[in-house]
Amino acid sequence: MKKISLIISLILIAVIYSCDKYEEVQKSDNLTPEAKQWAFMGEVTSTTCGTCGYSGYNNFNLIKKNNSGKIIALAFHCNYPDDSMQSPLLYSYESSRPTGGGIPSFHVGNNKSSMSDLQNNADSILKKAPEAQVKFKAVMVGSKMNVTSKIKFFKNVTGEYYVSFYLCEHGIDGSPTAPNGYKQSGGSGDYKHNNVVRAGNENNNAYGTKITTAEATTANTIFDYTCSIDINPKWNKSKLFVTAVIWKKNTDNSAECQYLFVNGWDTQVYN
């Protein structure tokens, strides 16, 4: 009997120890951003655009794959009847990026880029020393994507900084047999829409929420930020992911770009 009691006691101790360890792991999520510079590539595209479905699509995906783990890639859809179009986010994004030239339209950092220069322009950004970075954890709960994040500054800076969290969807069927509003003109039989911006932490402003609370922010300052993004039941939850970008408000009110790219981060692995 004593042996049985001893065995039961040991099992209970093991279980309790395991539970304590599990809780310890759960509470030790490290959200401290790393001092690593990422690049930014934004595309304005549409299912109605044949060039977007062929050369635009190929170049966008090539740059994503070649720069996995160091580039933010966002696809903003335009032109009805494109069902991926999110008007307020699209219009606010375009309002602070160089325009002209039709679609597909590519922006790398703060500049418009030709398809042939996408990689060179991304390389220029990646060479910079980061002034700030963000890291986050995204958890889906029912019809919400809940985001917990930290934004860290590595240098003494001045000015207004903003953070955007974009809820994106990848692998959306754009083939000739796709539903209306998703069929991609110029696309192949296995065409997929990738990195499609579905929603944001500020759905009326693609440049997000102001995070700096003073004109001057000192090095090693960390801001905590949380948000919850609504998920439309029409979207494929298994294909959703979150991407974050830090922007800086331009002090020149007459400049073409009112929000300047600083840095960004996500956990998506491009394949």
> What are the pLDDT tens digits along the chain (271 aa)?
444 444 434 433 333 333 332 222 233 368 999 999 999 999 999 999 999 999 999 999 999 999 999 999 999 999 989 999 999 999 999 999 998 889 999 999 999 999 999 999 999 999 999 999 999 999 999 999 999 999 999 999 999 999 999 999 999 999 999 999 999 999 999 999 999 999 999 999 999 999 997 789 999 999 999 999 999 999 999 999 999 999 999 999 999 999 999 999 998 866 5
Dmax over CA atoms of the chain, in Å, equals 85
Q: Looking at residue 90, what is its pLDDT?
A: 98
CA 76 vs CA 58, 90, 136, 137, 223: distances in Å = 16, 6, 22, 23, 28
Q: Looking at residue 123, what is its pLDDT?
A: 98
**Kind and range of the H or E run holding 143:** none
Q: Kindly state the tokens that stand for 26.
A: 């759960």
How would you class 241 by CB atoms within 10 Å of its CB: exposed for 0-12, middle for 13-18, buried for 19 or more? middle
Domains and CATH numbers, the chain: 36-266 (2.60.40.10)
**What CA–CA distance (Å, rounded) separates 169 from 30?**
25
Q: Looking at residue 101, what is its pLDDT?
A: 87
Q: Looking at residue 45, what is its pLDDT?
A: 98
The answer for 192, left when phi > 0, alpha when psi is -120 to 50, beta otherwise, is beta
Q: Looking at residue 215, what is its pLDDT?
A: 85
Per DSSP, the three-state class of 78 is: coil
**Kind and range of the H or E run holding 125:** helix 118-126
pTM above 0.85, yes or no: yes
Per DSSP bridges, beta strands 132-141 and 111-113 are unpaired
**What CA–CA distance (Å, rounded) separates 201 from 188?**
33
Q: Looking at residue 11, what is its pLDDT?
A: 38
